[in-house]
Structure 1
Amino acid sequence: MTGSTTAPTAEADLAVLREHADEWVRTPIEDKRELLRRLRAATADAAADWVRQSCLDKGVDPATPAAGEEWMGGPWAVLETASALIATLTTVVEGRNPLDGLRVRSLPGGRLGLRVFPVTASDLALAGFTAHTWLRPGVTLEQARDGAARGVRERSGPGRVALVLGAGNVGSIPVLDVLAKLFQDGAVVLLKMSPVNENLRPVLGRVLAPFVERGFVRITTGGAEEGTRLMRHPDVAAVHVTGSRDTHDAVVFGAGAEGARRRAAREPLLAKPVTSELGGVSPVVVVPGRWSEATLVRQARHVATQRLNHSGFNCVATQVVVLPQRWPQAEEFVRLLRAALREAPWRRAYYPGAAQRQRAALDAHPGAEVLGGDSDAPRVLLRDLDPAAPDEPAFTTEYFAPTLGVTRLPGADPGEFLRAAVRFCNERLAGDLGATLLVDPATGRRLGGDLEEAVAALRYGNVGVNCWVALAYGIPRAPWGAFPGHDVHDVGSGLGTVHNALLLDPAHVERSVVRGPFHPVPTPAWFVDNRTAHVTTEHLTRFAGAPSRRVALREVAATLASAVRG
């Protein structure tokens, strides 16, 4: 049973969900855990078909390294999240707290940090990387423990129906958003697929079948008109949106001039709770140091990956590179970055509107460099963006296409530059979903506590230090969302959190911070020039879904053997 429907039957789907909403709240934790175990098995079974369909839709040969993005961004992410949620529910069943055993550290500004990766032995597949969830200033460990999995533990309150407007780019997003609504928010879910990836409907129906069979999830399709009708349906109590800020504002206030007027007047059309993940203009800040030629090459490849992974269609793709004006190696870094962008494997610009967005970027920047790629939406480098220009569109418009800008800031030393870069990112760039910092170990030691203060000062919901911030998306115990403090009238990069497999109270969470080695060995599988990414990530996915220890050991050995050749 797939649970997949077309728009005319959505009314019947809502009736089923309404009927089972209270049942979901009352369902014993052991039964919810069993549903997750069945989802995990279904995901492992559907993984190859999932990747095959995603590759077909995006013009990717499944036998090439680019397919690795579909393995990691599809079934692997769902398997990891399902396993983490199973572990959380198990702690509750056993009378323990989901935060038991986590390392806790004190952070600037009266914050606490929970180390949420690595936690299990399987996390060592990404050895060298760590993640911490930063609680909001003043939130105590006791408060965090009390809030963790509270809804699952208490099993009280009326049931609700939530509508998830699925993302069209990364295949796991719709499923992870459904799981967040089920387990974090306690709602049953109608998932409306995006027209961009609605061909995944049958395979996602297989993945979600355990919940569909119980009447807790339904899947439907349709365009913007159907989405609007469902959002305003009286049976829908809450809505989750993944997309752009414009998408969110059209949902909440309506489109066009009338929608803009309503937003300015704070008169929403949709008077329901709305959560969202909306992307923005994500930066990478390059802190100056003395880098070898090999390091310059590696970090140029790293930054190129941050823009070109998934053909540039990521909500947290880097769009602006922030360099120091006085860094003697800046010009060489830009030269190598240009080469990395040009030489990266060709990818089709599959997402609708990419050509128009690229044309807008080129029209606004007469000196832009075109560096190959899909001729409909080529790779574009905007070399010398003026950081003081009040109307620079690359700072305020998420191009959602393979466009990368470079700007330079003053600073007499790394600390002064870093403070200037933090101010620039916070004040000039649209959105607050994710930012990345690159700082070599020697410079990091010289900065000392100033580096942690800079991370604390960045107003972003996710921060990566020496690894692309998108890694936080794939760490299920790290909540994923924009920096808190917005509302629907000024939404930033969104409201609320998803993933969050520890089921922390979203009101307690400030951000997730991921860290990686400055010199990662072997080349991470998400690098766009990794030569064995498709093989490595297929084995990594099979390891994540292994039904036995014997299979897991076989797959982890195969993962490592492939990874070292990447």
Structure 2
Amino acid sequence: MPPATDRQGGICTDQVVGGGPASSLLPDAYRRAIDELTAVHPSHPRLMTLSDESRLLLAREILTALYCRKDEWAGVGDWAAEEARLMRLAGSAADACASGAVLTLASVVGGYLRTFVDALEYELGKECDERRRRTPELLARRRSFADDRGREVVAYGPTALPLPGNTFEVWTAASNESKEEEDDENDDEEDQQEQDREGADPDEENTIALVLGAGNQSFLSLIDVLDNALRRRRPVLVKHHPLRPWLRGPYGVILEPLIRRGYLAQVVDVSNDATGALLSHPAVGRVHVTGSTRTSEVVREVLRASRRHLSDDAVRSMITSELGCATPQVMDDGTYTEMELRHACRIIAFGKKSNGGCNCLSAQVVVIPRSWAQKGEFRDALSEELGRQPTPPCYYPGSIERRDVILERCGEVDASRVTLVTAPSLSAETRITDADQVVVVECGTPGEGGYNPEPLLVEAFGPVLAIVELDDSKSGDGEEEDDDYLVSTVVPFLNDKGNIFGSLSCSIFTPASKGDVRERRGMRNALAALQYGGVSINQWNALGYFTAISGGMWGGHRLEKLSQSGNGTIGDLYGIIGDRSAKSVVYGPPLASKPMFDLASPTPAIVFDVLLEFACSPSIFGGLIGALRLVARRSIYGFASYIPFINVFFKKKDKVCIV
């Protein structure tokens, strides 16, 4: 684990990368990878020139590798077990972590590829008989309406997510876009004209896309590779994060069709100087970053220093990024049942503790109405859930240090507002300390004495959870204005980046007593105005990411001018969004339903393994057969483990493949 490593980008942000001539710092492995990607292959055309039919065949070939070579990619290098060791887990928790990592990678990648194939088949089928052409569900179920500002909004869906009981829509501005969007479009046109004048538009056929791998999740970089290679037709060089070098193994098996054709190469992290030299190489025309805002800034500084003939806007246009967010969890006003409050708190606690709080979508800020009659009851329920659900170790470099910095700043305001909530370790064999536990910070109310905005203005990326009360005295009291608190108070507060950091995703929790969320005009207006790329209702906001593999999108909101959560999006496989502002809206089950996410009720590894059989099968029947074989094999191994001498053989054989 390298010191001073940034949270995801694999770049030390204590200094600008580089420091010498790029050619002398570029490792031979990096140089060979670039040569492979830029070489002319007589048997394979350049990726940029591939026909849609060829891209369709390529996607199907990758999907076949995911299905048919499951045992190979799932077990290569024992990578899933390495993931569990990195996260400081042992015993049954480590087994579940390893099996869950394999299942998640298979589900996410398989979902993306199936949607890509469906979208491309639909596009190619437009020339066929209209009566025989099947319209994808997301495009077939479309509705439009005008929000309270007179802007027309188009909602595509709702479409079911892979997780039962959850649906989503893609909301986008229609032709009569807002004034802000028109201004942005004019600015974009001026930037493009300037780039053309200065020769900044790169020759896409002669450049590659560099993907700087994510360090906190195993599947993120693989989707970034597919999005660049299949959707944007760019040859890709992926530099794996120093925390997860073992991902080169499973990626190599699944993406072998891309590698064989010279469309993809992989390298591991060597040093900050080597990364700087790689960014400075003239063959790099695009860079995708998954990391922090500082990581993106460092990348831009290196690109600017190595491309002095380009304007700042031209350099900025070379970078796409998925950055962080001080993710809000909004409690709507209204009357909740005891069960609804408890379930909302369960989802928030899970969202805070998952992966040690080291996700770009980790719950960080709980927003409640100041005059809400149930706020005391809510606080008790939240504290109970944080103490009930086990705590994963804070394995990610810098997470505890960031927590300490935030607490130090909060202590200068009022130490009595800081509460440590202790809980047992997620892994019985792993010892944790108070530094791993979640700290709840009471921030107060904006505009009032003693208000402490510190935990809202940075991404904690660790075990910090802030509570802020908004002044709801100006909200309407009439029945027709029952969502006025969201429209007039919550949305303006969250959209102002002087109040809270980022625009990636958020969750809104609302009681059944206020009616069906799809039928409430005020809720509809609030969703239309909210400038976040993903909004989940009564659900963990992480499901916003999974809309991107099903036809939706994931990324910071386009109208957020500071780009704190990044630039560009992944997904949009049906081409719904284009350059318009958009968001994915997830509808979870009512809060009366028991949440499917709960660290106190961990899913056994065998369940993940059975689900993997279905995820890596093109049919339900095939998945069922695979699941039955798996259970039978495990049963035989378990029985044999009690027989002397034979148990050693079976244990070794079973270890060959995690699944």
| SS at 2:394 equivalent | coil
Q: Is it true that 1:425 corresponds to 2:470 in the alignment?
A: no
In structure 1, the residue matched to 2:421 is 371
- Structure 1 residue aligned with 2:52, among 16, 21, 29? 29
In structure 2, the residue matched to 1:552 is 623
**In the TM superposition, what is the alpha-carbon distance from 1:52 to its structure 2 partner?**
3.0
| SS at 1:128 equivalent | coil
Q: Distance in 1 between matches of 2:606 and 2:159?
A: 24
Q: Distance in 2 between matches of 1:478 and 1:533?
A: 30
- Aligned-partner residue type, residue 492 of structure 1: Q
| SS at 1:177 equivalent | helix
| SS at 1:180 equivalent | helix
- Per-residue CA deviation, residues 246-291 of structure 1 (Å, 9 max, x unaligned), is 1111111369xx99xx9xxx95794651111111111011012222
In structure 1, the residue matched to 2:3 is none
Q: Distance in 2 between matches of 1:52 and 1:19?
A: 36
**In the TM superposition, what is the alpha-carbon distance from 1:432 to its structure 2 partner?**
0.5
- Per-residue CA deviation, residues 476-498 of structure 1 (Å, 9 max, x unaligned), is 111111101467xx322111111
- Aligned-partner residue type, residue 299 of structure 2: V
**In the TM superposition, what is the alpha-carbon distance from 1:501 to its structure 2 partner?**
3.0
Contact 2:346-2:382 within 8 A present in 1 as well:
yes
Q: Distance in 2 between matches of 1:116 and 1:226?
A: 46
**In the TM superposition, what is the alpha-carbon distance from 1:509 to its structure 2 partner?**
5.0
- Per-residue CA deviation, residues 198-226 of structure 1 (Å, 9 max, x unaligned), is 22222222222221111101111224332
Q: Percent identity?
A: 25
Change (3 A) 1:272 1:225: farther
| SS at 2:591 equivalent | coil
Q: Distance in 2 between matches of 1:112 and 1:347?
A: 41
| SS at 2:532 equivalent | coil
- Aligned-partner residue type, residue 59 of structure 1: R
Change (3 A) 1:532 1:380: same
| Gap runs ≥5 in structure 2 | 1-25, 128-132, 178-202, 426-431, 631-659
| SS at 1:253 equivalent | helix
Aligned residue pairs: how many?
Answer: 524
Alignment of 1:210-225 (within 5 A): 210-222=257-269, 223-225=271-273
**In the TM superposition, what is the alpha-carbon distance from 1:542 to its structure 2 partner?**
2.7
Q: Distance in 1 between matches of 2:365 and 2:302?
A: 30
- Aligned-partner residue type, residue 595 of structure 2: T
Q: Distance in 2 between matches of 1:544 and 1:500?
A: 22
Contact 2:458-2:501 within 8 A present in 1 as well:
yes
Contact 2:288-2:319 within 8 A present in 1 as well:
yes
Change (3 A) 1:279 1:206: same
**In the TM superposition, what is the alpha-carbon distance from 1:557 to its structure 2 partner?**
10
Alignment of 1:240-279 (within 5 A): 240-253=288-301, 267=312, 270=315, 273-279=318-324
Q: Is it true that 1:83 corresponds to 2:128 in the alignment?
A: no
Q: Distance in 2 between matches of 1:13 and 1:503?
A: 31
Q: Distance in 2 between matches of 1:68 and 1:420?
A: 43
**In the TM superposition, what is the alpha-carbon distance from 1:451 to its structure 2 partner?**
0.4
**In the TM superposition, what is the alpha-carbon distance from 1:502 to its structure 2 partner?**
2.5
In structure 1, the residue matched to 2:195 is none
Contact 2:531-2:559 within 8 A present in 1 as well:
no
Change (3 A) 1:14 1:548: same
- Per-residue CA deviation, residues 343-364 of structure 1 (Å, 9 max, x unaligned), is 2123121111012111112212
Q: Distance in 2 between matches of 1:522 and 1:391?
A: 34
- Per-residue CA deviation, residues 352-396 of structure 1 (Å, 9 max, x unaligned), is 101211111221222311223642433111134443378622111
Q: Is it true that 1:40 corresponds to 2:57 in the alignment?
A: no
Contact 1:177-1:499 within 8 A present in 2 as well:
no
Structure 1 or 2, whichever has the larger Rg, is: 2
In structure 2, the residue matched to 1:208 is 255
Q: TM-score, normalised by structure 1?
A: 0.84
- Per-residue CA deviation, residues 181-207 of structure 1 (Å, 9 max, x unaligned), is 112222110111111212222222222
In structure 2, the residue matched to 1:16 is 36
**In the TM superposition, what is the alpha-carbon distance from 1:472 to its structure 2 partner?**
1.6
In structure 1, the residue matched to 2:574 is 502
- Structure 1 residue aligned with 2:557, among 473, 476, 483? 483
| SS at 2:469 equivalent | strand
In structure 2, the residue matched to 1:129 is 166
- Per-residue CA deviation, residues 15-37 of structure 1 (Å, 9 max, x unaligned), is 22122596112234343333323
In structure 1, the residue matched to 2:459 is 398
**In the TM superposition, what is the alpha-carbon distance from 1:71 to its structure 2 partner?**
4.4
- Per-residue CA deviation, residues 138-165 of structure 1 (Å, 9 max, x unaligned), is 279xxxxxxxxxxxxxxx9736411111
Q: Distance in 2 between matches of 1:541 and 1:520?
A: 29
In structure 1, the residue matched to 2:154 is 112
**In the TM superposition, what is the alpha-carbon distance from 1:444 to its structure 2 partner?**
4.0
In structure 1, the residue matched to 2:614 is 543
Change (3 A) 1:519 1:537: farther
Change (3 A) 1:345 1:401: same
CA RMSD of aligned residues (A): 3.2
In structure 1, the residue matched to 2:194 is none
Q: Distance in 1 between matches of 2:335 and 2:317?
A: 53
Alignment of 1:161-560 (within 5 A): 161-222=208-269, 223-253=271-301, 267=312, 270=315, 273-365=318-410, 366-367=415-416, 368-372=418-422, 374-375=432-433, 376-388=435-447, 392-412=453-473, 413=477, 414-418=482-486, 419-427=488-496, 428-445=499-516, 448-475=520-547, 476=549, 477-485=551-559, 490-504=562-576, 506-519=578-591, 521=593, 523-524=595-596, 526-532=597-603, 534-553=605-624
Change (3 A) 1:168 1:481: same
Contact 1:23-1:159 within 8 A present in 2 as well:
no
**In the TM superposition, what is the alpha-carbon distance from 1:79 to its structure 2 partner?**
1.6
Q: Distance in 1 between matches of 2:510 and 2:525?
A: 14
Contact 2:122-2:135 within 8 A present in 1 as well:
no
In structure 2, the residue matched to 1:57 is 86
Q: Distance in 2 between matches of 1:271 and 1:300?
A: 40
| SS at 1:369 equivalent | strand
439-448 or 51-60, which deviates more: 439-448
Q: Distance in 1 between matches of 2:225 and 2:491?
A: 34
**In the TM superposition, what is the alpha-carbon distance from 1:335 to its structure 2 partner?**
1.3
- Per-residue CA deviation, residues 427-482 of structure 1 (Å, 9 max, x unaligned), is 11111111111011221459820001011111111111111221021231111111
Q: Distance in 1 between matches of 2:295 and 2:495?
A: 22
Change (3 A) 1:71 1:484: same
- Aligned-partner residue type, residue 543 of structure 2: L
- Aligned-partner residue type, residue 295 of structure 2: T
Contact 1:159-1:188 within 8 A present in 2 as well:
no
Change (3 A) 1:312 1:357: same
Contact 1:322-1:407 within 8 A present in 2 as well:
yes
Q: Distance in 2 between matches of 1:234 and 1:47?
A: 36
- Per-residue CA deviation, residues 485-532 of structure 1 (Å, 9 max, x unaligned), is 467xx32211111133324454135111111112375532x4333332
In structure 2, the residue matched to 1:150 is none
Q: Distance in 2 between matches of 1:253 and 1:98?
A: 47
| Gap runs ≥5 in structure 1 | 1-5, 141-155, 560-566
- Per-residue CA deviation, residues 299-352 of structure 1 (Å, 9 max, x unaligned), is 111110121112211101111000111222111111121121122123121111
